[in-house]
Amino acid sequence: MTVTDKLLRVYRVDRKIEGLKSRLRAAERFLGQQNEHIESIGRRATAVDSQLRQLKAAQADAEGEAARLEEHIVELRERMNNAKTNKEYKAVLTEVNTFKEKKAQLETRAIELMEKVEACTSQKGTLSEQATERARVKEIAESERSQRADEIRDQLEALQAERTQLAGEVPASVLSTYQGLVDRLDEEAMAPIEIADKRRHEFHCGACMMLLPVEAMSALLSHGSLTQCPSCGCILYVEEKDRETMASSKR
């Protein structure tokens, strides 16, 4: 078995491992999204709580000031009733009307603040419902994540053990080159040579689809030495069906 064949076995096991892990990562991403939603709702709820406290305090101040003015107006009306002269009566009446106007403004302000308090309270209730719903979704997401982890655990352990065994048969330098390509190209670290035109000896890289020199196919067919695409750098290999096709053409 050539070094490329040995490395290809490692690559194919890596693809299986990655396929299993991707299922788990998808469940973890979904769980992460729920946590982000819950945190966002929590931040909004905190902001609404702060706004609600400020609005209630402002409403209480407006209502308290309106009540204080009402008491003062009552006192002024008693002075009006006890006025000795028309001039004194009119002066007190002017003062009463001024405070009545201020009181009306404060009452209007208190009503506006009360409406805002009601709107914030409603928003707080909506956020609470959203938080409850997201908490339920999070529970489902956690369950799915655990289920995915349980489903793949045995398969993953078996594949990782197989991978360790197969990797042990590959020269360290070759394995190092391969790992660097995996880090850079991921699943395209290895790619098959695609036969574009057998008669004209036209071959393409299965990863970048660039034209390959004839020597690439020859090197793999003759002794399976490590061969990389000149364009993208991936490690090339020949599929068994194509190997048979090329072998038959030489007969």
Q: Indicate if the pLDDT at residue 112 is higher than 80.
A: yes
- Percent of the chain past pLDDT 70, that is, above it, reads 98
Give the pLDDT band (50/70/90) at residue 250: low
Per DSSP, 14 falls in state H
The rounded mean pLDDT for the chain is 92
Contact 182, 234 (CB under 8 A): no
User: What's the whole-model pTM score?
Assistant: 0.66
Domains and CATH numbers, the chain: 3-167 (1.10.287.1490), 173-249 (no CATH)
3-class SS of residue 1: coil
Confidence tier at 29 by pLDDT (50, 70, 90): very high
Give me the mean pLDDT over the 56-66 stretch: 96
Query: How many CA atoms does the CB half-sphere of 208 hold within 13 Å?
Result: 14
Q: Tell me the average pLDDT across 69-73.
A: 93
Which residues are CB-neighbours of 45 under 8 A, at least 6 positions away?
Answer: 124, 127, 128, 131
Residue length of the chain: 251
